[in-house]
């Protein structure tokens, strides 16, 4: 059971918009700690997608965006492309556990 809760899977057709939620608690997201998102393509290492809730590293398309409110955060992907098919993970810090925490991951399928 992950400290941050994500839906196991989401799907969408090419060109559509999907969102992935990440729900935490008062000891992590709700305490004000930043949320970061990672994309993991099959058979590869995770890659930073969004940092500090809503910032995109250089090279990440603006189709990807992040937001945070209260004890939750969301990743939105617009204009879905086949190459977006991957696993997505949210991550934050938990003050009770005194360590970094990940969501369980969400598998995105592009129909």
Least CB distance to other proteins at residue 25 (A): 16
**Segment interacting with other proteins (CB under 8 A) among 9-17, 18-26, 69-77, 101-109:** 101-109
Strand partners, 75: 20, 66
Strand partners, 69: 72
Closer CB to other proteins, 64 or 93, in the complex: 93
* Contact in structure between 62 and 78 (CB atoms under 8 Å): no
Q: Can you say how many angstroms the Cα of residue 54 is from the centroid of all Cα atoms in its chain?
A: 10
Closer CB to other proteins, 24 or 103, in the complex: 103
Q: H-helix or E-strand containing 71?
A: none
Least CB distance to other proteins at residue 36 (A): 4
Nearest to 48 by CA among 11, 90, 97: 90
Q: How far apart are CA 17 and CA 76, in angstroms?
A: 7
Taking CB under 8 A as the criterion, which residues in 16-75 touch other proteins?
Answer: 33-34, 36, 38, 40, 44-48, 51-52, 57
Owner of token pair 């997505």 = 88
Query: Which of residues 2, 5, 19, 78 is near other proteins by CB under 8 A?
Result: 2
Which residues here bind other proteins, judged by CB under 8 A? 2, 33-34, 36, 38, 40, 44-48, 51-52, 57, 87, 89, 91, 93, 97-105
């Amino acid at each position: 059971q992950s400290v941050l809760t994500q839906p196991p899977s989401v799907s969408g057709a090419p060109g559509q918009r999907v969102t992935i939620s990440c729900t935490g608690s008062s000891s992590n997201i709700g305490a004000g700690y930043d949320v970061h998102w990672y994309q993991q393509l099959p058979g590869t290492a995770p890659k930073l997608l969004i940092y500090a809730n809503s910032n995109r590293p250089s090279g990440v398309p603006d189709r990807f965006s992040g937001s945070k409110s209260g004890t939750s955060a969301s990743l939105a992907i617009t204009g879905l492309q086949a190459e977006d098919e991957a696993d997505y993970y949210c991550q934050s810090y938990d003050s009770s556990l005194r360590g970094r925490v990940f969501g369980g991951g969400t598998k995105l399928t592009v129909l």
